[in-house]
Amino acid sequence: MKTGCVALVLCLNISVDPPDVIKISPCARKECWIDLFQRLFRQDLLVASLFRNFLLAERIMRSANCSPISYPLLPPTHQHHMWDAWDMAAEICLSKLPQLIADPNAEFQPSPFFTEQLTAFEVWLDHGSEDKKPPEQLPIVLLSQSHRFRALVLLGRFLDMGPWAVDLALSVGIFPYVLKLLQTSAMELRQILVFIWTKILSLDKSCQVDLVKDGGHAYFIRFLDSLDAYPEQRAMAAFVLAVIVDGHRMKTGCVALVLCLNISVDPPDVIKISPCARKECWIDPFSMAPPKALETIGKTLHSQYERWQPKARYKLQLDPTLEEVKKLCNTCRKFARTERVLFHYNGHGVPKPTANGEIWVFNKSYTQYIPLPITDLDSWLKTPSIYVFDCSAAGMIVKAFLERLDWSSSSSASSSKDCILLAACEAHQTLPQSAEFPADVFTACLTTPIKMALHWFCNRSLLRDSMEHNLIDQIPGRQNDRKTLLGELNWIFTAITDTIAWNVLPHDLFQRLFRQDLLVASLFRNFLLAERIMRSANCSPISYPLLPPTHQHHMWDAWDMAAEICLSKLPQLIADPNAEFQPSPFFTEQLTAFEVWLDHGSEDKKPPEQLPIVLLSQSHRFRALVLLGRFLDMGPWAVDLALSVGIFPYVLKLLQTSAMELRQILVFIWTKILSLDKSCQVDLVKDGGHAYFIRFLDSLDAYPEQRAMAAFVLAVIVDGHRIGQEACANAGLIDVRASAVFALGNLVDIGSPSLNGADDDSDDDEKVRAEINVVRSLLQISSDGSPLVRSEVAVALTRFAMGHNKHIKSVAAEYWKPQTNSLLKSLPSLANINSSNVYSPSSLIQGSSGLASHIGPVLRVGSDNSATARDGRISTSSPIATNSIMHGSPQSDDSSQHSDSGILLRENASNGGLNYSRSRPIDNGIYSQFIATMCNVAKDPYPRIASIGKRALSLIGVEQVSMRNSRLSNGGAHPGETSVPPSSNFGMARSSSWFDMNSADPLLSSSAAPSNMGLDILPQSLIYRWSCGHFSRPLLTGSDDNEEANARREERERIAMDCIAKCQRSSCKMTSQIASWDTRFELGTKASLLLPFSPIVVAADENEQIRVWNYDDALPVNTFENHKLSDRGLSKLLLINELDDSLLLVGSSDGNVRIWRNYTQKGGQKLVTAFSSVQGYRSAGRSIVFDWQQQSGYLYASGDMSSILVWDLDKEQLVNTIQSTADSGISALSASQVRCGQFAAGFLDASVRIFDVRTPDRLVYTARPHAPRSEKVVGIGFQPGFDPYKIVSASQAGDIQFLDVRRASEPYLTIEAHRGSLMALAVHRHAPVIASGSAKQMIKVFSLEGEQLTIIRYQPSFMGQRIGSVNCLSFHRYKSLLAAGAGDNALVSIYAEDNYQLPTLMQCVQRCFEVALGFIWRHTTVEESGMSTWEDVEVE
């Protein structure tokens, strides 16, 4: 940006003072200072200068008690210590001023300022790091012109410290400075400049645009051509050019054809043999008059070149003079502008080039040969250009040209060079004169390769006697038609030459010569043929850049075979034009070879040489794409190789196809490409490729994994790319979840500094309306079941808070003023808050019934320790179930160390930095909804999301504070436990499938958040970064892991079936207490759960403390908290994926659900996901009940509410909301393990209902089996076995009712189990047994016929059974085991049949010995380390 016009308005009225000003004498009279210091700084030179000078104005005017102000507001700088450096420099300079004025010729001695500052910067480099304060001398480095080399070396050292240093340097303004330096010819700067540009482009590829625009690419080309560069430095320059070429295709815009034939007159230095080669462009010049022949040859050459580049402009000069050539060159360069110009020179009618590199043309009368120096030709054509010299001793020209390039690179007046040369032979060689070749064999190879190759092949194959050569000129078809013989040969030839080039050339050179310019690529493919053919005649074509020899590459054998097969069919095809063409087996064979490599190859082995052929296998497109997908899945190295071949334009063009069979593999391939190279987004949107993926998302037959890939592609398209964002928004990309939220979030404008909040009439109303729609859409999905989606919503809404913070602050201030409830009615989630109290900090901290009663105790926001990995999966695994998967997300946490959200309104809140806000407010209803939503987000069960919510609230002036968590029980911790504050590290960690970040998150860490907050405080999205890492890893492999998991699953299924058979035949008399565990829960045991394939029991209390115990070894396994929130209450423990690596679902009584993995590893528990199952149902209260259905993957949740919510944990979505049709709430839920989608519900009014989500009416059965009693249903369940029609219901009154839904609503069996104190019911899944427990320390076990099998009572004797008031009961899934949790003494007891096999005495002794040794070792280790803590080991 620049200032285009300056308006100067002077209101002086000289000699007349204004009436309100009294001037002193003498007073200030100068009205304008002219500042000579105008340096490059940021966008606008004039604005930059004014702001630099404003700092001086502030310093000077503050000394006169006058404070200049600006917008954007700048912090005070008048006392900055750098002014001391200015004073010292000024003093030194002023002391020299009299001498310099007196003697203008006196030598000026520069100030030591820059030397001292560079020394200070060097000291920082020796001791600084990313964690320390950035070097304040960094801007000075750019201005140290007199110490330029030293400054650049120090700058290079700084950039080498990491991407953070590069980003910091770019923010200072390093780019225009080092871009300008590329114009210098100073040799000492070359290496350090290449190093600096390598560092810059490794972080920011967008610099390539200006780099090419200013001709900077030529600097690196010259560097590559220099002979004194080290290999590492050449590799850096090659990397810079690779970045430049990436996305910057070039084309040849103009072609100059110069033919110096002088037909019928041989040049004096050429002695021709007889017979000799005569044909030029396959025309015999002596078959017609010389002028006619010359014209015909020129037109033919034109048409031969036009076949390769039809869109270029062609200029032809036949036997020209020097002036005609000059005019031709100037005209071509003028037309081509920055595009490449091709200069083709045929010198068969003139002498050989001179030793000085001069070629020959004619005078006007054709009586003399006039030399044309290559220097003149180069100065006319300039750059970029390509030269083709078809003449004897053409190597002379190349030699002279290279000498000119070396001279130019070392001279001060060097010009940028991007030149390519193709010469027919070396300096000492003469063109072949054999009659088997045309006279212009080099040109024939370059422009008509198929014809030349077949002629040459026929002369050397067995076909030379049986086939007439004139048939080759009659090959049917077109070169671009694959279904014809000529087209097939052309594609095979292209595939073979590309393969040869890719396998022998460096990848950067391959990209430059074979992928950047279509005409150049064609010429170099054909040049490989020319080398093969002409070397057989002892003539060696040469090129610049120099190519290695390829004439003996084994792929030429494949070409010979393909040519022989095609030529053998030629007579038949010519005789019968209607004969069906049979394609060559070449591509099939090459794809098979590629497939063999895929089966055995790896990164450490030689790359597959067939990779370029895959792109050209049009007739086997589907197979080729599948193989290409397999290759890309091998890792980022494979994607990089494929991109180096040129996969991008190939798969980009395929997005235009409508072939259904290609959709899935194309989505997979694009996912792999974009996970490595984001820069492809530009061309993808430019060609409308985004629409392909949006249509794919709309299709109904795509699998979830494929839809996730398409969503990732769209997320990359919108990431930081405004055109991509607008394109996707216009295409209606609003129904996709996480990736769409990411996309929509990028559309939310974070605003810009507004001048005193004044309205800006230039605001785009349409853009405002679009943003309102986006925000409304985001608010609607803020309670999504996926933490990933909610996190993206929170990030996007925080952007909204930044852009509209001033207006939202005003709305929030109105709502949180100490006024009546009526002011809060428009804030939906806060409508039930008692606002009679004054919202002072003290009242909030005391947890009074104000706003804090809704949000929770007031806490100071710290950073959460949420380093974890989530690769939890849900499978519908059971002996009778099918598979289902719940995929992980980048929201996984190690633990839920999560502080409550509290709110403290700051009256004059400001984020301390720029007040980013829209200049025009939008609908206040949106602001109200935003505040309500962010209050809920700040209480999200997932720690990172809650932290983002707190950050958003802080942006609108709602201060978040945190303090140590206090437990519900008397506000204290357990004896011996220490309440540890959350770690200062915040981040997401990935172990096997998600994140692996251990560094602090500066965006959410309170310790890292600056007091002056600006754009840098915005929390960052995780989906894109995670997706890039995830999709760049192999996705199609893992067969070994699958085999291991399947084997484990099969073994567990076998064990389960054996145990089921045994328990179904057992007596089910639970008379033996095999274990008793003191959980040490202060509030008693609320829930217990027996794991199916290990002797583990999991128990939890009302405080949501979770403890895991091994009942065979009588040893604790793990202990952890479900969360750190103050609002506590447990509802149920459920097991997910029991046949696989099971997950523990913990349902809280407030409806929050958290799923854990690795919960049986000490300290290794990982939070997989967390969400609120009843978000938006404020009437649900704190009595939410749950149950899980493995086959369907459904979680059912309800409570004191009129609805039952059905969650699909695979999709992490609410899939159904069922009306209970009852006047009371639900107190018990049980899902059928036989019928998917069917579940039973027990109500507070003692009624029972069965629902089926598959039926239109949902409700399939209603009964009141406990009438006339009205106590609530305590437990309900489907009877054991595979009968889906029988249920068991128990009420708090003590009766147990057996129902058959096929009969009347009356029970067919009633058991009066307890007298008004029934607390728990357990129904075995497979054994014909149920159990009930009462508050009177009693457990009863019944058969399905009502027979009482066992009664367990409290026994006060020393050896007696110790049980308390029964809070919970749970059966083992496959064994006759019963776990009972007590409410008063916190015991968990496990009962079994008398024949239960306990561990042997020797096993117990051995285990105790191992534990004792471990205890001693830990004790010793702790003492030696000087620590005072002990690890408790409980041995029973």
DSSP string, 407-460: HHHHSTT-----EEEEESS-TT------TTS-TTHHHHHHH-HHHHHHHHHHTT
With helix as H, strand as E and coil as C, how does 471-524 read? HHHHCCCCCCCCCCHHHHHHHHHHHHHHHHHHHHCCHHHHHHHHCCCHHHHHHH
> Residue ranges of the alpha helices (H) in 1165-1321?
none
- 358-362 vs 369-373, strand pairing mode: antiparallel
Contact 527, 350 (CB under 8 A): no
Residue 982 has pLDDT above 70, yes or no: no
Query: Considering all CA atoms of the chain, what is the largest pairwise distance in Å, rounded to the nearest integer?
Result: 133
In sequence order, the 6+-apart residues with CB closer than 8 A to the CB of 765 are none
What does residue 1330 show for φ and ψ, rounded to 5 degrees? -130, 165
Strands, sheet with 1295-1300, edge to edge from the N-terminal-most edge strand: 1273-1278, 1286-1291, 1295-1300, 1309-1312
To the nearest whole number, what is the mean pLDDT of the chain? Answer: 78
pLDDT value at residue 674: 87
Residue 877 has pLDDT above 90, yes or no: no
Of 218-232, 1007-1021, 1205-1219, 1396-1410, where does the model show the most confidence? 1205-1219
pLDDT value at residue 708: 85
Residue 892 has pLDDT above 70, yes or no: no
Residue 998 has pLDDT above 60, yes or no: no
The Cβ of residue 1290 has, within 10 Å, a number of other Cβ atoms equal to: 29
pLDDT value at residue 1332: 94
Q: Tens of pLDDT along 1079-1100?
A: 888 888 999 999 999 999 999 9
pLDDT value at residue 245: 60
Element spanning 1108, H or E: strand 1105-1110
Percent of the chain past pLDDT 70, that is, above it, reads 76
Q: Tens of pLDDT along 760-779?
A: 444 467 777 778 888 888 88
pLDDT confidence band for 407 (50 / 70 / 90) = low
Across the range 378-384, mean pLDDT stands at 88
Percent of the chain past pLDDT 90, that is, above it, reads 31
Residues in the chain: 1436
Contact 1296, 1330 (CB under 8 A): yes
pLDDT confidence band for 836 (50 / 70 / 90) = very low
Rounded Cα distance, 1098 and 1117, in Å: 10
In angstroms, the Cα distances linking 762 to 1, 43, 44, 765, 920 are: 19, 22, 21, 9, 10
Q: Tens of pLDDT along 72-87?
A: 777 888 888 888 888 8
Tokens found for residue 752 = 């810009």
pLDDT value at residue 977: 34
Residue 510 has pLDDT above 50, yes or no: yes
Q: Which of the residue ranges 37-51, 149-163, 1089-1103, 1257-1271 would you say has the lowest mean pLDDT?
A: 37-51
Write the DSSP string, 241-262.
HHHHHTT----EEEEEEEE---
Residue 414 has pLDDT above 60, yes or no: no
SS3 content of the chain, % helix, strand, coil (to 5): 40, 15, 45
DSSP state of 860: B
Residue 239 has pLDDT above 80, yes or no: no
Residue 40 has pLDDT above 60, yes or no: no
DSSP β-bridge partners for residue 904:
959
Residue 969 has pLDDT above 50, yes or no: no
Q: Which of the residue ranges 237-251, 518-532, 817-831 would you say has the lowest mean pLDDT?
A: 817-831
Contact 920, 759 (CB under 8 A): yes
pLDDT value at residue 755: 31
Write the DSSP string, 272-294.
--SS----BTTB-GGGS-HHHHH
Residue with tokens 């001693």: 1416
pLDDT value at residue 1295: 94
Across the range 811-817, mean pLDDT stands at 71
Q: Tens of pLDDT along 570-579?
A: 888 888 878 8
Across the range 1324-1351, mean pLDDT stands at 91
pLDDT value at residue 1070: 79
Q: Tens of pLDDT along 905-953?
A: 544 444 333 444 444 566 678 888 888 888 888 889 998 899 888 888 8
Residue 862 has pLDDT above 80, yes or no: no
Across the range 837-864, mean pLDDT stands at 28
pLDDT value at residue 864: 36
Across the range 814-820, mean pLDDT stands at 57
pLDDT value at residue 531: 96
Q: Tens of pLDDT along 664-698?
A: 999 999 999 888 877 777 778 878 888 888 888 88
Residue 854 has pLDDT above 60, yes or no: no
Of 954-963, 1045-1054, 1239-1248, where does the model show the most confidence? 1239-1248
Query: CA 800, 803, 809 angle in degrees (round to 5)?
Result: 85
Residue 973 has pLDDT above 60, yes or no: no
Residue 210 has pLDDT above 80, yes or no: no
Residue 379 has pLDDT above 70, yes or no: yes
pLDDT value at residue 732: 65
Across the range 1204-1220, mean pLDDT stands at 90
Sign of the Cα pseudo-torsion (156, 157, 161, 164, in order): negative
Rounded Cα distance, 341 and 252, in Å: 6
Residue 885 has pLDDT above 50, yes or no: no
Residue 731 has pLDDT above 80, yes or no: no
Rounded Cα distance, 1154 and 1146, in Å: 5
Residue 322 has pLDDT above 60, yes or no: yes
Q: Which amino acid is at 1356?
A: P
Residue 1156 has pLDDT above 70, yes or no: yes
Q: Tens of pLDDT along 933-943?
A: 888 888 899 98
pLDDT value at residue 421: 95
pLDDT value at residue 754: 37
Residue 258 has pLDDT above 90, yes or no: yes
pLDDT value at residue 257: 96
Q: Which of the residue ranges 326-335, 823-832, 1026-1035 would you say has the lowest mean pLDDT?
A: 823-832
pLDDT confidence band for 758 (50 / 70 / 90) = very low
Q: Is the pTM of this model over 0.85?
A: no
